[in-house]
Structure 1
Amino acid sequence: MTTKLPLSRLLIMAAAVVFSGLTLAAPAAAAPTGACPDVQVVFARGTGEPAGIGRVGQSFVDALRPLASGKSIDVYAVNYPATRDFLRAAEGANDASLFVQNMAATCPDTSIVLGGYSQGAAVIDAIAVAQTPTLGFTQPMPATVADHVAAVAVFGNPSIRLLGGPLTALSPLYGSKTIDLCNGADPVCSNGNDVAAHSLYGESGLTTQAAQFVAGRLAGAAPITTLSGRG
C-alpha cells in the first residue's frame, strides 16, 4: 500500500478494528512548564482509556526520561474522545496537528516526539500521512513541520495489518524517523489472535525499546528504518 490511500480509508479501516474495553488507569499528562522544553512528547491514547496519555504512553515516557541525557521533557496528551465512535479520531488528528504546528512555530529549537497507541496510533498515522483535508481532518501539517519532529513511536498500529505495512513505509516525511511496534500476535496490528498482547506493550518491553530508539534520535543518531518489534 502507498500514501495515496485517502485518509478517510486510513481512519475508518484502522480505527474500526481497535479493541475497546481497555479502561486502564493512567496518570495524567505532565503539565506544560511555560518555557520551551528540550523535548515535547505528543501522545494519543488508545480506545477506552481515560483522558491523559494512557498506560502505554506513560510507560513510554517513563522509559524515555532517564535516557534523554538530562533534557527537559514536556508531555501533551492529544485531546480526543478515544471512544468507539472511530470517526472522531479525526478530532485527535486535528488537535495533535495544531499543537505540533504551534510548538514548531513558538519553540523552533524543541525536538518534537509523536506517539500513539492503538486508535491513538491511527491518529498519528493521519497527521504523518495526510497531505490534504478529508473526513473531518482539516489541519494537515505543512511539510516543513517534519523538520521539527525528531522521532515517532507508535504501538499496536492498525495500519500494519489493514494497510499492508507500518508507518515507516506509509510516510515519506516521517517514516525514516519512526518506530512502529506490534506485540507478537496482537490482532490489531498482525494476523494473530493473542488479544491479551494488545494491552501488554509496557510489560513486553516494547515501550522501552521505543524509548531507546527515540533517545537515539534525540542524540542525533542515524535514522533506523528496520522494524524489530513486529509480530
Structure 2
Amino acid sequence: MDVLESRTDYPSRVTSACTASHSTSASNMKLLYSILFLHAAVLALSVNQEKQELMLAPRDLPIYQNDLQDKATPCSRVIFIYARATTEPGNMGISAGPIVASKLKDHYGKGNVWVQGVGFPYLAQPLPNIYPDGASHEAISEAMRLFRLTQSKCPDSAIIAGGYSQGTGVIAGAIRQLEQSLQQRVKGVVLFGYTRNEEHGGRIPDFPSDKTKIFCAYADALCNGTEVIVSPAHFTYFEEAANEAPAFLMQSVGY
C-alpha cells in the first residue's frame, strides 16, 4: 500500500519539479535578455555619441569643449586637455572636468585659456577599464594627438591636463608616451580617482611626480587596486575639482 501511495504521488512530484525547473529557466532567460538589452543599449548610445561628436550644435554646450581644435590662432596662454569618466557624455563629461575648466576660465579669463576634451574615438565605455593601461589604445592615441597638436599649433602655450576615472588612464597613458620635449611643456596634471594609482605607485610613469596631483579618496576601491568595484567614494571629487585641483594647476603654470 505504501508503495502504491508512493507511485501515485510520483507524477505530482515530477510535475512540481518540472514546473520549478521551467520557472528557473524562464528567470534565467529573462536575466539573459535583460543583459543583452542593456548591452545593446550601451552600443546604441555609443553610436549616437559618435554621431553627436560630428555635429556642430552640441559643441557649444559645456560638456563639449573643442577650443584647441576649432579656434584659430593666436593661441591662448594656457591649454587644458581633459578626459572624462566612464559613460559621461560629450568630451568633457558632467562632473570634475567642467568644474575645473570653469575655475580656470574664472582665473585666467575666457580668452586666455583653451579647454579641449578628448573625444572620438574615446567613447568612455566600461570595458576598456580592465585593459592594461586602464583605457583603449585608440583613446590614448587620440589624447596624444591633442597634446601634439599643441606643439604644432600653439608652441608657446602652457599645457595642463586632467582626467577622471577611465579618463585618468587616457591622460596618463598619453603623457607617459610623449616625446620628452613635449612632456616638458606639460606644466601640471590632475587625476581624480586614478584607476592605476596603486599599480603605478601614485604617479604617472616616466613623468615628474611633482607635476602630478592625484585625488584618491580613502574608500575609493578603484584607486586602491580594484579594477571592477566602483564604490560610492569614487563619485566624491566635486570639492577637489572646484578648489584644490585648479589651484594646483594654476600654481604649476606659475600665475
Using structure 2 for the length normalisation, give the TM-score: 0.64
The CA deviation at 1:70 is 7.7
Aligned ranges 1:26-37 → 2 under 5 Å: 27-31=63-67, 32-35=70-73, 36-37=75-76
Higher helix share: 2
Counterpart contact for 2:165–2:193, Cα < 8 Å: yes
Cα distance in 2, alignment partners of residues 26 and 198 from structure 1 = 22
Give 2:243's aligned residue: 208
Counterpart contact for 2:191–2:214, Cα < 8 Å: yes
Cα distance in 2, alignment partners of residues 108 and 206 from structure 1 = 27
1:219 and 2:219 correspond: no
Using structure 1 for the length normalisation, give the TM-score: 0.70
Counterpart contact for 2:83–2:164, Cα < 8 Å: yes
**What letter is aligned with 1:190?**
N
1:189 and 2:204 correspond: no
Give 2:118's aligned residue: 78
| Larger RCO: 1 or 2 (CA < 8 Å, sep 6+) | 1
Q: 1:214 to 1:112 in 2, by over 3 A?
A: same
1:92 and 2:139 correspond: yes
1:145 and 2:182 correspond: yes
Counterpart contact for 1:26–1:50, Cα < 8 Å: no
Q: 1:51 to 1:27 in 2, by over 3 A?
A: closer
Structure 2 alignment gaps of length 5 or more = 1-41, 43-60
Counterpart contact for 2:96–2:241, Cα < 8 Å: no
**Alignment RMSD:** 2.6
Give 2:19's aligned residue: none
Counterpart contact for 1:112–1:148, Cα < 8 Å: yes
Counterpart contact for 1:30–1:75, Cα < 8 Å: yes
Cα distance in 2, alignment partners of residues 124 and 116 from structure 1 = 6
Counterpart contact for 2:63–2:89, Cα < 8 Å: no
Structure 1 alignment gaps of length 5 or more = 1-19, 130-139, 221-231
The CA deviation at 1:210 is 0.8
Counterpart contact for 1:155–1:181, Cα < 8 Å: yes
Cα distance in 2, alignment partners of residues 33 and 26 from structure 1 = 16
Q: Give % identity.
A: 24
Cα distance in 1, alignment partners of residues 90 and 163 from structure 2 = 13
Aligned ranges 1:6-17 → 2 under 5 Å: none
Cα distance in 1, alignment partners of residues 219 and 159 from structure 2 = 30
Cα distance in 1, alignment partners of residues 242 and 233 from structure 2 = 13
